[in-house]
Amino acid sequence: MVAEERFDIIMGKVVGIFQELELIVSEIKADFTTESAQDPRLSLKVVNNSLELASSCVKRFQSYRQRNESTWSLEKDINYIRQKLRSFYRQFDNPFLGSERWYQRIVQLLDQLSEESRELGRILEIQEDNENMC
């Protein structure tokens, strides 16, 4: 499979993960009274900030998927996207975000994002190996 195709598939998965995170945080916000009763450390500010972050990531990562509009090389795009994913982890990872049920799903989604980031790195490794073989 060509690197560009793999990139597009991975980015499709990344956008889907962000969309699910956005939906989960929306659900937490919609049921804030029940959620905060299960964990009184949960604040509306945390929920709103997390929702804003997830929503912006959906839009931002959808735009990253448009490789034909990028003036950067695939390598530079991938490195930049991996950097943005790491930044997202630092901003989003909050143990006070919802009930145990939601928190477990959020952790699973963050693990999936981490795996997709590693897959992006593998694209670069394969490209480098192919260049060295020539």
Where do the domains of the chain lie?
Answer: 3-133
Please state the φ and ψ torsions of residue 77, each to the nearest 5 degrees: -60, -45
User: pLDDT confidence of 38, banded at 50, 70, 90?
Assistant: confident
Residue 14 to residue 5: CA distance in whole angstroms: 14
Q: Which residues contact 13 (CB under 8 A, 6 or more apart)?
A: 112, 116
Q: Determine the pLDDT at residue 10.
A: 95
What stretches of 1-134 show up as alpha helix (H) in DSSP? Answer: 3-30, 32-38, 44-64, 74-92, 100-133
Share of the chain above pLDDT 90, in %: 51
User: pLDDT confidence of 96, banded at 50, 70, 90?
Assistant: low
pTM of the model: 0.88
Phi/psi zone of residue 98: left (φ > 0), alpha (ψ -120 to 50 degrees), beta?
left
Q: What is the pLDDT of residues 21-31, one digit of tens each?
A: 999 999 999 99
